Every structure is written in structure tokens, then in C-alpha cells.
A and B are shown apart, each in its own frame.
Chain A
Amino acid sequence: MVNTSSLLAIAAVACFATVRPAQAQGDFQQRRPGPVDAGARPTPTLTRPPRVITGPNPTYPPAALAAGLIADVTMQVDLDAAGQVTNVKVTGPARADGGVATEFDDAAMAAVRAMQWGAAEIDNVPAPIRFEYTLRFRPPRLVPVGDGGGSDGGVSDGGAASDALTSQVGDTAPAPDLAPRAPAIFPLGRGVLRERGTRDPLESADVRVIRAPDPSTPGAEPAELTSTTDGEGRFVVEGAPGERVRVVIATGQHEPCIREFVLPAADATPVELTCLVKRLAINYETVVEAPRKGEEVTRHSLSQPELTSVPGTFGDPLRAIQNLPGISRAPYGLGLLLVRGASPQDSGVYIDGHKVPLLYHFAVGPSILTPDLIERIDFYPGGFGVRYGRASAGVIDVATRTDPVKRFHGAADVDFLDAGAYLEGPIGGGYSMAAGARRSYIDTLLPLVLPEGETVAAPVYWDYQARISRSISPSERISVFAFGSRDSLEVLSSDPDSGSLDLGTSVMLHRVIGTWTKAWDGWTSRLSPSYGFDSVGFRAGTVDADGSAHVFGLREEVTKSFGDSFSIVAGLDNELRFDRVAFNVPLPPERRTFGRTRRTITDISRKLSNLGVAGYAEVLWDVVPRLRVVPGIRFDWFHYSATDKISVDPRLVTRLELAEGTFMKGGLGLFHQPPTPQQLDPQFGTPTLPLITAQQFHYGVEHAFSPAIAIDGTVYYMRKLDLPRTSGRRAADGGVERYAPDGRGRGYGFEVLLKHRPTGNFFGWVAYSISRTEERRRNTRGDGPPATPYRPTLFDQTHNLTALASRTVGDWEFGARFRLVSGLPQTPILGGEYDADQNDWDPVQGEPGSVRRQTFHQLDLRVEKNFIFEAWRFAVYLDVQNVYNAENPEANVNDYRFRQTAPVRGLPILPILGMRGRF
């Protein structure tokens, strides 16, 4: 058997399907057929359901894993009053191909027996209980919704759910095996179980038909007949004609449906039941994040509901990641990806494995993907695996949902900034579709509140997403995902003394990503081609700049396990870009002038074919059962701006399990990133610039205090070499050299994440990082500009603390986030000097980066109220940023001669009211 921690991935979704009373008895009233209330006599109440204290930690059957098989194992679990497992049996056989179902069953039962449980309570007294519990086994790349990252997970701890479970419970003796009465049983009732608010059919709900005791037999106990709902939520009620029955249908995640009635005659029309049950606030279905694959030292993953309930993010999943350790705070809440003090261009952003140029709309706008499509976000603050490249800082990979859907669902979101809609559902032939769109309307609202004649600079954005997917078999899936976005900004003003300003700028991208995933004979393959079109545009007066690119991507990754302790991953990561750039921009003259000079509108056109070809491989080797070593290597060939560059990036990660739930990890590696196209341009750059090299070293410890609470700490050190810096010296050919690779960088720090995973009605985390990111200039050739000491980078933030929590109480959800962050580095201004030729005052600057802006602190609150109707749900939320209106200066402005300074405040209190509907 393969140890859990050594697997590529296991997704185990544990769910209590039905909490079954140990012994049931009824107090029936003689009524006509049809729904009736529960008995008039007070009934014992399940005041606290059983809860998981430790586990599950299942072992994926290696043969099944190698074959890419999946399974759901549903078990009947008996706990005694002390919470000890007294009996486990499989009630829902493992649905697996290949004759390995028994292995799944054994693995699941072993996992449940090894779990530590908290006893259930009936009427606030610990009591034996029987319930159903499902473990789902999923190999990597075929994981449906809910598969997260990380090695541990949690199961909800009960709580409020018990308030809604009011089925009768008798004494606390162990439940007897069910023994349905034999004679004269007819299907005299039928019905369907659906979820209130979504009308989703509820499958595998436990249907108990409790038959009245025989009045002729004193002391006779009621008996049960049990069945489960089918895939459409349908069930049948069997019994004898004229018999009084109580039907209790429960999923464990919803309020139970309880009906009492008298069965009709055998030849009469069966009783029809429709149960719409409300999902409990508590989330019994708990995400158990996938065990780490081990190819990186630090990965932070977010999954529902962390993606949409973080205060201060307006429910935007991709903004939630800005609260993780390793991500620096961006000024004004801008959607900049600042990883460990590095510039945004040093990090890579991927969607389904393909790089995209942007993740957020303009300014404080939302991300370009609708939250409904996002399954998981992985953030690697550094030391990422060999499947990623062309970046020297961090990586964000957004995984979108690919699981087929069985029914149509839709959503609509409206808030102060924009409105969006989303629809998904089956379209026949095994295909599923999903589509969404969003558009901002601030450009319409803003003129209503701005003074007349004011310059209008209204951001306009829209985005769309569409997906078609098909699950060919449990081990084979295909999908095509298309998405795009456009941002534009229009500025209009007219001044008769100077002229009219008509400024427009836009950014647009489109992507189509195909994915074919298949598992066979121990191999898994993921082939993903993509095509994209990017464009940027700017115009103002006689100036305009347009750029566009056709982007082709091709990724292929195969994995193969050899035995229990050795796996290989190999892949290709190719990108071909055809860029076209056309600028009509005013450039300073390439001659020495000593006063403001007429800038020539220069026509610059470029057609570039940029090719990046990469191959990578890594080995996941369990040297001993508790030690995993992951050596990997990546080869990159860059053909950028007509220059060719090659890099080889060896990387190594080790992971040692010190004790149950405690891991020590370490890693080191090389990372290469090409200079920007402009820096390699023959006219405005230096084509001979080498690749930027980063050397990264990581060491960390993880510890799980419980299935829900874990801590992850990492120390790191990073060096950067060959950063392009302004030269302005005579080049070897006698001309003017634009850049020289004289920049050096380094970063070091400690990051810690104490996290309470979403369990039941609570989640939250505390993220803290202390770090230093610096750069310096070297005078490598002796004749260049002088060397400088290390100085903090523009986005260096020494301390960064984020604490957030969200709790659900009934239909209400409350959240809070508090941030405390060091101010950004600042260069002191000591005064001003007057350039009499330019008529400009230049600041007299002190030591660059030697002082910092004021410490940033901000509290955000979020309140959401849910309304659940029969067929749809509605939520209203209020997300308030900067509740106590902290000033948080983000910049300074000075008078013309730098004698006076005034701070420019950050975002003031910003309440956003939004509404969201789902069906």
C-alpha cells in the first residue's frame, strides 16, 4: 500500500450522510395520508452530532492509483458514547473499475477505524450513534470540485446542525441491525428529495420508513425500512396498506424531511411526496485538501468558501490570495501581484496552466474570472516546481472547474461596480456547459455624481467565460475553456486656453484552452493546447500606441508511478507569440539638449516572433517511508526579440515527516527569467543582456494541530543576478549602451501561516511575514556607473500581518479582516534645487529607501444575509473596507520647490453593497 503522504493526490470528501438514531420509536397519530407533524410527545433530540477529531488519513490503493481509478466508499459507522468506533461496514460499495473495489473498501474502513471521533450527544448527553460516512478517492488531475492542496484537512465539528435534527431517538443502547418486517409490503408512496434554493436532487439520502408498533403486541418496537434516494433524488415508501408510517429522509447536510401518513390501499394511487430541504448552515461536506505532491516547499491553496467570503475582497476569489503570506500589500488596493517585494513582472500568473498577462481589471476592479468558475487557486511564493518557469519570484495558478454538471444552475451578481451572470448545465451527449459574463457600469454612474465639466476618467470593463466539457469515462475528460476581458479608460476634457484632451486606453485579452486528461495503465496524461489574443492600446492627441499578440501555447504533462515510492513527472511548456507593436510616441531627442525640447513623434513598429520552449522532468522518490526527495530539472530555450538564450534550472525539494502531521521541508533551485522585450530591443534596449537568474533557498516546517488547524512556517533566501540597469555608457561598438546587467538583488525572510480551514461554520487564518528585499548596482566592468550598497526595493515590506476570520450563524455570515503592514520604502527629500535651464525644481534626495511611509493598518468587515427560497437563493452583502477610516498615506506630494510636503491618503472607508442570486 502507498502511504498517504507519498501519493500524488488523494481527494477525500468525507460526508456524514445520515445521522441515524440508535433506536427509533414513534408516537403516531391516526391521520389521513399526507404529510403530518412529528408526534406530539417531546422527542429526544440529537443535540450534537459526532465530529471528527483526527483524520481521515486514507491510503490510496496503489493499483487503483496507478490505473487512475476513483471510488466513493459509503460506510455505516457505529460510535459508542465515548466516541469509539464499534463497528464499520460498507453500505455503498466502492464504484471502481478494475476489480479493486475491495481495496478501496478496506482502505476506507481502515481509515475510519483510525480516526478519532467526538461522541454524539442526544438531549445533551453523550450517546451511541450510527451514521453514514463517505470517503471519496480521487487521483490527481481528475479531482472534482473541492480538491484542494495541502496534506491535511478537516471534518466539521458539528454544532448547529444538531439543532435541526429532531428525529426521534430512543435510549442510548447500540442500534440493532435493521430487520424489516417481512409480509405484505407494497410500494405505496413515492417522492423526490431536493435541496431548497437550488432544487438539486439529493442523491444517496437515507430514507427511513418507520412503521408503527403493532398495538396488539405490548412492548413491540417500531421497525425501520431503509433505502436511499437515487441520482434524481427519488425514493419509494414501502409498507402495508393502511399502515401508519413515518418517513425520515436525511442527508446529514440538510435539515431532515419528516413526514407521517397512513399508507393507502394497495390498489390506490400511491402517496406523492416532494421534500425541499434546506442546507444546514454547517458544512458537513468538508474539503480534505489533496496531499502535497512535494515538488515545492511552500504552496498556499484556497478553496471554497475561502475564495468568496474574505472581507475586503468583495467576494472576489483572486483578491483573496492577496491575504496570504508572501504577497506584499499593493498600494490603494490595486490588483498588483507583488510577491516577496519583487516587481509584478517577476511573477507568473497562470490560468489552467497557461500564462496570462493580467489577472485583475483596472484599479480596484475585480479579477477577470467569475468566482463560479474557480475551483482552486495555488500560490507559490517561491521555490515553485519545474512545471513553471520564466519567472523569478512567485507563481499563481488558477484552476477552473472541469467537473461535469448534471443540472442547470445560474447566478447573478450585482454590486456598486458591476453586474454579472453565470449559467451552467448539461447540454446532452455527456457534455456540460458553463458561461458567464460581467460588465461594469461605473462609467454610467460616475457622471451623475461628478461636478459638471469635470474630467471624466471612468474605467469600463467586461469579461466573459465559456466552457464545454465532457467526461468520457471516469479516467478521461476533455474540455474547452474560453475566456476574455477588456478594460478601457476614457478621459475627456476641454480647456480653450490649452486644448482638448481626449485620452483613451484599453487592455484586452482572449484565451481558448483545451484540455484532454486521460489515465491508463498507471499513466496519466494532460494535454493542453491554447490560443490567445492580447492587445493594448493608448491614444491621446497625436500620440498612440497599439500592441497585439497572437499567443499559442502547448503543454503536455505525463506522470507515471513505479511501485510505491517512485514516480516521475515530465512535461513540455511551450509558448509561441507573434507580437505586433506600433507606436507613435514622442521620444526625447537622441541629442543633448538643455531645456525642454520638442519631442519628435516617432513611428516605431515591430513584428516579433517570440518562442519559449521548455521541457521539464522531476522524480518523486520516497527514499524511506517518511522522506520524499524531489529532484527536478527544467530546460528553457528563449527566442525573444531575435535573441537566443538558454537556461537550465535544476531544483530540489525534500520533505521529511518528523511525526504524525509534522513535516520538515527544504528546497533550493535556479530560476531564469528573460528581460522584457523592450530591454532586448536593438534600438531601445540591449539585445545582449543575459537572462535574469534567481537562486532560491527554502526551509520550513508544517504541523497540523488538528484536522482543521495547521501552521506552516518557511524561511527563505534568494539572490538575483544580472538585473538590467540603466547604463548610458559607451557601448563596445562606440554607441550608447541602454542597459547593463549590473543589478543584483537579494531577499530573505520568514513567513508563517496559522490557518483554520473551513470547517462547519468557521474559517480564518493569521498570516505574518518578516522580510527584506534589496537590490544594488555593481560596476562590473569598472567603467560603468558607480556601485551602490543594497537598498530596499520599491515594494519591500518588513512586516506584513493579516488576520481574518469568517463565521456563519444561521443565515448570516460575518467576517473581519485586519491588516498591519510596514510602510513602503521612501527616499527622504531634503530640499529642492532649481534647474535654471529646464525651469524645474529637482528634489535633493537623501539615502534612497532609507525611510518608510507610515505603517498601514486597516480593518474590513463583511456581513452577508442569505435568503433561501424553494428554487433559488438570494444573498445581500455589505463589504466595508477601512471601517475606521484610517488615513494610511500611500504617497507624498510636495510644493514646487520641495519645502512643503503633504501626504496623499489611501482608500477611505469604502462600503460596497452587493446582491447575489443563485439557482
Chain B
Amino acid sequence: MAMFACARPLLLVAAFGLLACTPRFENATTVIDLRLLGVKAEPPEILIDLAAAAAAGTITDPLPPVVLTPLIVDPKGAARPVQIRVEACPNDPDEAIMGGMGMRPGMVGDTVSDRPCGDGAVLIADASLPAGPDGTVPFETTFTPTLPFLIEAARADPLGVELGLPVRITFTVKAGDETVRSFKRILFSQRLSPDHQPNQNPVVTRFFMRQRREDPREPLDATMPPVVPRGTSLRIAVAPAVAEAYSARAFNATERRFYTERVPEETLRYSFYATRGIFAPSSVSNDPSPLLTNPTTDLETTYEAPGEALPPGADPHVDVFVVVRDERAGASFTRTRLRVE
């Protein structure tokens, strides 16, 4: 329900634009209906030896299959059937360029589409299955890229061969009258050196918790969910995933040329979701905001338990999902539990 919660003096708010009246929208960290929280692609990146391909006139390396695992949650679906349709299509640079007001400078990042596939996409899977007892939908599929598909993708994206060719994978998830459309990318990059390694999905292995910032952190064991009294909070932290160093092709606008850039550490972001209660902040990262003068990077967020009581006999457990993403379409997700009483 969109309602204004304006307790501030409206006069001052309006006159100086200092405070905003924030409508009371649903919180993004609370999973209350059908959601797709993340997609893991294994592998997330495939390297192509362009030199060998040029010599042979075709791509000689075998194109590996990519296993796609979405994190689909339907907490209140009561095991209703969930339809999942998966499609693939090339990157369309015009979609990003045509967005907005068309007034910004065309940067390299503006050539990556931010839309799902449209008509003409290649069907990967079309399935229907119910959510499991834990509310998640156990779905997995495999995408095997073909050479004609890649050639078509390269034609559609002139900068893709040089800078990396993203292939879009679209997920259309339906349950009842709810529909979620989502997309992610699989990256086909040129092999820059013999020891060039493709991107690896980051993984969260452990959680920690503490009541207050001053307290020492303790491991959070999903098999023994900690109790969080209603209306209180719990600080939850993640053990850092491996942030890789990598090389990628980049554009030097001053010298007007492409070059290989060495990135010492990729950015990892951790997003938190719960089936009840909220997280604030909703995401943490090893890349603090440059706008802050003394930013914290302790990968810790605060879980705020709901204040209302559950109906008698209801399960007091709260499922917590953490999705970690890198900056090259690598991702994975982990689940833990809390008990709110």
C-alpha cells in the first residue's frame, strides 16, 4: 500500500527540498511472494582463443555447456506449480543507448543491454515444477552455446569481440497470477594470454552474528538457528568470498585505443533477503561508497525482526538468503535460518 508517512513539517520540506516524504512501500529484502533472487551460471565466463580462431577460420575450442541455476523462491505458494521459461539472445547495444534522455556520453558500459530478450530468442528450457518444502524451486538447466549463435551475437554487437561478448539469458517465472521476468549474462571473452583464467563464481561459506557492534562475532549455524526476539535486531556478517584479480580489454579514451587492463581485485556485493523481517542495509560490499569520508567495509548488516506475533502453530523460522555477485556476472547464493519468537 503506497501511503505517505510525512511527519516532517511540509513547509520546510517543500521549500527547501531537504527531506523527502517516503511512501511506505514493500521492503525489497523481505520475500513475501514469488521472487527470483539470483542466478548462478557455471561457468560464468568462457574464454575464446581469437588468435587460434583467426588462424583456423573458426573457433577450435569446444564450447562448454553452462549450467544455469536460478534462486527462485515462492514462500507462500503452498507447492503450487511454477512455470519457468529460459531463453538466450545476443547483446543489443542499441537498447542501452536508446535508454534515458540520450544526452549522456556513450561510454563502453552504455553498450551493454539492460533488458531481457525480446522476440527471436533461443529457447533453452520450459518447465513447470512446484516449490520444495523450504519455499525454493529446485530448478536447473543447461545452455550449450553454438557457433552460429556466437557468430550472430558478434554481428549484433560490434564491440563485443574486442571488449567481451555478453549473451543474455532470460528467465520468465510464473506462478498463479504472478510473473517475474529476469535476466543475466554469460560472458564470452577473448583469451588474453595462455594463463588467462575465466571468471569463477564467488561463494559465501560462513555467517557470523552479534547483537551489538561492540560484541564479538559468533558463527551463525543454520542447523541451530539463533533466536531473535520479535521487534529486536541481530547483526549478521558474511565471511568474505574470494575477490579475484583479472585482466580485461578496455578502451583508453585519451589515446583512442583498446588495451588490456589489469584489475587487482574485483568488486563483490552481498545481498540479503529474509522471508520475514528486513535487512538494513540490503547489500554490503568490499567497495565502499567514495562519497563517504570514513566508510565501513565489514560486510555486516542488521536483521530487524518483525514485531507482530505469529499465529499459533506457525513456523517461527525465517529463511535468510544471501546472494554474492562479482562484476563479471559471477554469482552464487547461500541459505541460513533464524528463529523469530
Tell me whether A593 and B294 are in contact (CB under 8 A). Answer: no
Contacts of A739 in B (CB 8 A): 105-106
Chain B residue, CB-CB nearest to A686: B105
In the complex, the answer to whether B17 meets A363 with C-beta atoms within 8 Å is: yes
Docked CA distance A897–B271 (Å): 16
B337 located at the interface, meaning its Cβ lies under 8 Å from any Cβ of chain A in the complex: no
For the complex, what is the distance from the CA of A451 to the CA of B19, rounded to whole Å? 11
Which residues of A sit under 8 angstroms from B158, Cβ to Cβ?
729-730
A498 touches B254 (CB 8 A): no
Task: Find out whether the CB atom of A736 lies under 8 angstroms from the CB atom of B253.
Answer: yes
Indicate with 1 or 0, residue by residue over B87-112, a CB within 8 angstroms of chain A CB atoms.
Answer: 00000011011101111111111111
Can you show 10 pairs from A to B with CB atoms below 8 A apart? Answer: A458-B16, A497-B302, A542-B290, A590-B107, A594-B328, A679-B105, A684-B105, A777-B98, A893-B23, A900-B2
Residues of A close to B94: CB separation below 8 A:
785-786
A164 CB, nearest partner CB in chain B, Å? 41
Question: Complex: how many Å from CA A614 to CA B105?
Answer: 29
* Known pairs A729-B106, A736-B159; A591 contacts B98 (CB<8 A): no
Within A534-570, the residues touching B (CB, 8 Å) are 540-543
> With A497-B281, A542-B290, A736-B159 as given contacts, are A682 and B106 in contact (CB-CB < 8 Å)?
no
Q: In the complex, what residue of chain A is closest to B160 when comparing beta carbons? A: A592
Q: Are A363 and B114 in contact (CB under 8 A)?
A: no
- Given the complex of chains A and B, what is the CA–CA distance between A726 and B96 in angstroms? 10
Q: Please judge, given known A-B contacts A446-B16, A591-B261, A837-B329, whether A501 and B38 are in contact too, CB under 8 Å.
A: no
B254 touching A597, Cβ below 8 Å: no
Q: Tell whether A363 pairs with B16 under 8 Å between CB atoms, given A598-B267, A794-B101, A837-B184.
A: yes
A350–chain B nearest beta-carbon distance, Å: 25
Contact of A593 among B8, B18, B23, B327 (CB under 8 A): B327
Q: B116 is contacted by which of A542, A596, A833 (Cβ under 8 Å)?
A: A833
Chain A residues with CB under 8 Å of B9's CB are 449
Residues of chain B from 54 to 82 with CB closer than 8 A to chain A in the complex:
70
Q: Is A907 an interface residue (CB 8 A)?
A: yes
Assembled-state Cα–Cα distance A894/B28 (Å)? 12
B105 A685 Cβ-Cβ under 8 A: yes
Within 8 A of A (CB), among B254-295: 254, 256-258, 261, 265-267, 269, 271, 281, 283, 285, 287-295
Contact B104 A726 (CB under 8 A): yes
Contacts of B291 in A (CB 8 A): 501, 503, 540-543
List chain B residues, Cβ under 8 A from A733.
Answer: 256
A-B contact sample (12 more), CB < 8 A, given A728-B97, A838-B114, A842-B114:
A497-B281, A501-B292, A589-B109, A590-B250, A728-B111, A736-B111, A786-B94, A895-B25, A896-B28, A904-B21, A908-B11, A909-B11
- Residue numbers of B with Cβ under 8 A of A are 1-4, 8-23, 25-26, 28, 36, 38-39, 70, 93-94, 96-98, 100-112, 114-116, 158-159, 163-164, 166, 171, 180-185, 187, 213, 248-254, 256-258, 261, 265-267, 269, 271, 281, 283, 285, 287-296, 300, 302, 323, 325-331
Bound state CA distance, A598 and B257, in angstroms?
22
Interface residue from B17, B28, B98 paired with A897 (Cβ < 8 Å): B28
Instruction: For the complex, count residues of A whose C-beta is within 8 A of B.
Output: 90
Bound CA span A779–B23, Å: 41
B98 to chain A, nearest CB (A): 6
Within 8 A of B (CB), among A891-916: 893-897, 900-902, 904-910
Q: In the complex, which residues of chain B have a beta carbon less than 8 angstroms from the beta carbon of A777?
A: 98, 102
Across the interface, do B182 and A726 meet the contact criterion of CB distance under 8 Å?
no
- A591/B181 contact (C-beta < 8 A), A363-B16, A499-B289, A833-B115 known: no
Find B26's partner among A503, A679, A900, A902 (CB 8 Å cutoff).
A900
Query: Which residue of chain A is the closest to B285 with respect to CB atoms?
Result: A596
Q: What's the nearest-Cβ distance from chain B to residue A417, in Å?
A: 8
- Residues of chain B lying within 8 A (CB to CB) of residue A451: 8
Closest chain A residue to B256, Cβ basis: A735
The contact of B20 among A450, A501, A683, A904, by CB within 8 Å, is A904
